[in-house]
Amino acid sequence: MKTALECMACYLRQTLQVSRVATGVESSHLKALKRVSELITEMDMERTPPENSVTVYKAISEITGCADPYLEIKQQSNKQALAVLPEFQKEIADSSDPLATALRIAIGGNIIDYGAMH
């Protein structure tokens, strides 16, 4: 899938959201938006959106000084997931179709994407 024109607005929206999570410094938010606006004009539209996102997120990280703005949220989510792991293991073990049950649970876990939610 190539990068579409609609992706440009999304890159800017993500830039603002991620920079706000990364830092409370509004001048950094503006700097990140300006830098990503420049990057958008140079993007290779033949690349996929995730490929172009690498450049966007690298710029945000450099400007905010935060390599992983969602680290704390992910760590909390991992703790919560580990707390219910025994329940999921029992559900899989007791299932008439353990593979299908495990896949359903895995799909549910993989839906979580903190960057894409915003």
pLDDT at 115 over 60: no
Same domain, 18 and 56: yes
Judge whether 80 lies within some domain. yes
Evaluate the CA torsion angle 77, 78, 80, 84 in order and state its sign. Answer: positive
Same domain, 16 and 50: yes
Q: What is the mean pLDDT of residues 86-90?
A: 97
Task: Write down the pLDDT at residue 114.
Answer: 60
Same domain, 60 and 88: no
- Give the number of other Cβ atoms within 10 Å of residue 95's Cβ: 14
Same domain, 55 and 96: no
Same domain, 39 and 79: no
- Which of the pair, 24 or 77, is modelled with greater confidence? 24
Record the pTM.
0.74
Judge whether 24 lies within some domain. yes
Same domain, 44 and 76: no
Same domain, 40 and 59: yes
- Which of the pair, 110 or 32, is modelled with greater confidence? 32
Task: Write down the pLDDT at residue 118.
Answer: 46
Task: Write down the pLDDT at residue 113.
Answer: 63
Judge whether 100 lies within some domain. yes
pLDDT at 24 over 90: yes
Judge whether 101 lies within some domain. yes
The C-alpha atoms of residue 107 and residue 104 are separated, in whole angstroms, by 5
Domain count, the chain: 2
Judge whether 117 lies within some domain. no
- What residue numbers bound the domain in which 18 lies? 5-64
Angle, helices 5-22 vs 49-64, to 10°: value is: 30
Judge whether 81 lies within some domain. yes
- Which of the pair, 90 or 81, is modelled with greater confidence? 90
pLDDT tens, position by position, 51-75: 999 999 999 999 999 999 999 988 9
